[in-house]
Amino acid sequence: MNMRFAFLLPMALLLAGCPSTPSGPEQPDAPIETRVPTVNAGSVDGRDLPNELRDPKNLLSQRSVYFDYNSFEVKREYQELVSAHARFLVANRQLRILVQGHTDERGSREYNLALGQKRADAVRRVLTVLGVQEEQIEAVSLGEEKPKNEGHDDLAWAENRRGDILYRGEY
Amino acid sequence: MAGFFLNRFRNLGALACCVGFLAFPARAELVIEITGAGASRLPIAVADFAGETESARLVASVVRGDLERTGMFNMLAAPGVAMDESSTPNYADWKYRGADAVVAGSVAPSADGRQEARFRLYDINRGLPLVGSAYLASKPLLRLAGHRISDAIYEKLLGEPGVFSTRIAFVVKNASKSYELHIADADGQNEQTALRSKEPIISPAWSPDGAKLAYVSFENKKPVVYVHSLATGKRAVVANFKGSNSAPAWAPDGSRLAVVLSRDGGSQIFTISADGSNARRVSTANSINTEPFFSPDGRFLYFTSDRGGSPQIYRAGASGGDARRVTFEGNYNVSPRVSPDGKKLAFITRREGAFRLAVLDLENGQTQILTDSYKDESPSFAPNGRMILIATETRGRGVLSAVSIDGRVKQRLSISAADVREPAWGPFQR
């Protein structure tokens, strides 16, 4: 999605909606679009990344590995995804990734940071077994601090127990 | 004492300027909720202070508020007549009113243009003055003089130092998803922002001299340990190794910190110089080892480990060696913090799915659960060991709560429209 256009369009509407004379009659319910897209500071759109990583039809565009409760093993259903990234990283030794491990919100923040690290380390281990070099990977934990789903139920917690793969340029 | 105030003035003066220019939508509000404080409370009256009305009223109200919040005093109504520190109280009259102790005082401009707050504490039953003193403060910092008076009264009457002039640190998560590290007086007033970030901040830890905070910031998309000098705002990276860096805890002499690094894989405890040099691995077990906390004598580290299959608290020598398991009840015991006298261990225990503050008496092995909440986190002892500050949740919002070590007195600090978490109670101000 082109951020610049998304931003300009509402601004144009906003300007068009401004009355030229302040003393003019008030327009009730004028359909003025004042919303602008919220961009999370620090997020990067990674436009310089190889196309494979951004093409939604490519498995490499999928970056999240989900874990069971109290589990730190990469499930069978994510083996294909992790293998695809491993092959890509082996073929492109100059690429670097950050693996961020996450937990749900229950329990101590620091202990959760350690649990998230176990998830990030699990993904890293699979990648290195498949030939990715250690210096291509940094495995870190964000613990419970950056939930994907802000809810407080089993569904939200399941979405938050994960490992995310970010390519340099995205972090 | 004069040195202390001069120092505080310079530091706080600079910060106060910044605060003045920033709009603060969120305002701290201290809600006092004292439960179960028994008949043993000491009856005391703080008379209206003499002198310049506004300042005198402020100082007297700070002292009353401080003493009342402890739950250790039965605050008697003052008769509405100002009483300065040198006018001898009518002992018979106060005795008739039921007071064991009476505080009188005054606030007046000093020769150097500041305010001088004086007080004297009287023992009504024995009919004599117990202690008195004078504190200089510029007008905006008059509250601090009040806290100093409260400290002196508390110590004289209860035989242990007061913590009214200490400070607390905590993290505020705003509705806009930004994170702020705040510093406030122990009563929640005089709140200031030390750090603002788009990314989470956790685990603030006060240096033993109260001048710095170590904490974990995620501003670089990974946990990195910083040390932040509060007076200057200067920050230094202490641990940014490959992988995660977290859980800072100061050694009692302030020279080193214990931190948790994942650079060797897993989460392992290291000690590191306060300048970030000389990292030495302490834990060796092939399991999670985190949340280190030094014993007050610096000889031991308490920490959380899952080496036995569930997270439990262990103790080992500060430079490594065999670990001894400390907690046994329940299958989730985390976040150990040792009391300043080394005799008690505060931690968070999970019971029937709820996370609660517990205190273990390290001498007799008895564990007492102090709260009935469901999401307690991050305990820290007041420097006199009397209260424990925790983060907890009410109606889905993060608040701070101070709980007395017998569980009978509870205070709550909340900020409207914001989540408050990760509290740390600072040391005595020297």
3-state secondary structure A43-57: CCCCCCCCHHHHCCC
Of the partner residues B200, B262, B267, the one whose CB lies closest to the CB of residue A145: B200
| Tokens standing for residue B57 | 């009223």
Do A14 and A90 share a domain, yes or no? no
At A102 the pLDDT is: 98
In which residue are the tokens 């023992």 written? B123
Q: Which CATH number fits the domain that encloses residue B152?
A: 3.40.50.10070
Provide mean pLDDT across the span B400-423: 88
Do A32 and A56 share a domain, yes or no? no
Do B211 and B241 share a domain, yes or no? yes
Do A1 and A81 share a domain, yes or no? no
Do B281 and B356 share a domain, yes or no? yes
For residues B292 and B269, is the Cβ–Cβ distance under 8 A? yes
Strands of B60-166, DSSP E = 73-76, 101-109, 115-123, 128-137
CB contact under 8 A, B291 and A121: no
Please report which confidence band the pLDDT of residue B21 belongs to, taking 50, 70 and 90 as the band edges. Answer: very low
Residue B26 has pLDDT above 90, yes or no: no
Q: Which CATH number fits the domain that encloses residue B186?
A: 2.120.10.30
Do B378 and B347 share a domain, yes or no? yes
For B379, name the nearest residue in chain A, comparing CA atoms only.
A108
For residue A46, is it within any domain?
Answer: no
Q: Which residues of A touch B221 (CB under 8 A)?
A: 42, 98, 100, 140, 166, 171
B118-154 pLDDT per residue, tens: 999 999 999 999 999 999 999 889 999 999 999 999 9
For residue A45, is it within any domain?
Answer: no
For residue A106, is it within any domain?
Answer: yes
Task: Give the Å distances, CA to CA, from B371 to B311, B316, B368, B377.
Answer: 20, 28, 9, 12
Please report which confidence band the pLDDT of residue B409 belongs to, taking 50, 70 and 90 as the band edges. Answer: confident
Provide mean pLDDT across the span A88-99: 97
Do B372 and B410 share a domain, yes or no? yes
How many domains is chain B built from? 2
Taking the C-alpha atoms of residue B248 and residue B244, their distance in angstroms, rounded to an integer, is 12
Please report which confidence band the pLDDT of residue B79 belongs to, taking 50, 70 and 90 as the band edges. Answer: confident
CB contact under 8 A, A118 and B266: yes
Do B295 and B391 share a domain, yes or no? yes
Do A22 and A80 share a domain, yes or no? no
Taking the C-alpha atoms of residue A8 and residue A26, their distance in angstroms, rounded to an integer, is 25
B39-75 pLDDT per residue, tens: 578 999 999 999 999 999 999 999 999 999 898 999 9
* Gyration radius of chain B over CA positions: 23
Q: Which residue has the higher pLDDT, A19 or B295?
A: B295
At B32 the pLDDT is: 61
Do B248 and B293 share a domain, yes or no? yes
For residues B110 and B136, is the Cβ–Cβ distance under 8 A? yes
B178-214 pLDDT per residue, tens: 999 999 999 888 889 999 999 999 999 999 999 999 9
For B288, name the nearest residue in chain A, comparing CA atoms only.
A114
Task: Give the Å distances, CA to CA, from A81 to A60, A67, A130.
Answer: 7, 14, 12
Q: How far apart are the first and last CA of chain B?
A: 8
At B175 the pLDDT is: 84
Please report which confidence band the pLDDT of residue B38 belongs to, taking 50, 70 and 90 as the band edges. Answer: low
Closest CA–CA distance from residue A26 to any residue of chain B (Å): 30
Do A3 and A85 share a domain, yes or no? no
At A47 the pLDDT is: 65
Taking the C-alpha atoms of residue B419 and residue B421, their distance in angstroms, rounded to an integer, is 7
For residues B299 and B317, is the Cβ–Cβ distance under 8 A? yes
Residues of A with CB under 8 A from a CB of B: 40-42, 98, 100, 106-111, 113-115, 117-118, 121, 138-143, 145-146, 152, 166, 171
Q: Which of B158, B185, B202 is the last residue of a domain?
A: B158
Provide mean pLDDT across the span B64-91: 91
pTM value surpassing 0.80: yes
Provide mean pLDDT across the span A8-27: 41
CB contact under 8 A, A111 and B244: no
Query: What range defines the domain where residue B57 resides?
Result: 43-158
For residue B56, is it within any domain?
Answer: yes
At B19 the pLDDT is: 32
Do B142 and B180 share a domain, yes or no? no
Q: What is the ipTM of this complex?
A: 0.90
For residue B178, is it within any domain?
Answer: yes
Number of A–B residue contacts, CB under 8 Å: 99
% of chain A beyond a pLDDT of 90: 68
Mutation to test the B interface, candidates A38, A63, A103, A111, most B Cβ within 10 Å: A111
For residue B17, is it within any domain?
Answer: no
How many domains is chain A built from? 2
Do A122 and A65 share a domain, yes or no? yes
Which conformational region is residue B143 in: left (phi greater than 0), alpha (psi within -120 to 50 degrees), or beta?
alpha
Mutation to test the A interface, candidates B196, B222, B241, B348, most A Cβ within 10 Å: B222
Minimum mean pLDDT range among A46-60, B15-29, B414-428: B15-29
Query: What range defines the domain where residue A134 resides?
Result: 51-167
For B217, name the nearest residue in chain A, comparing CA atoms only.
A142
Do A76 and A33 share a domain, yes or no? no
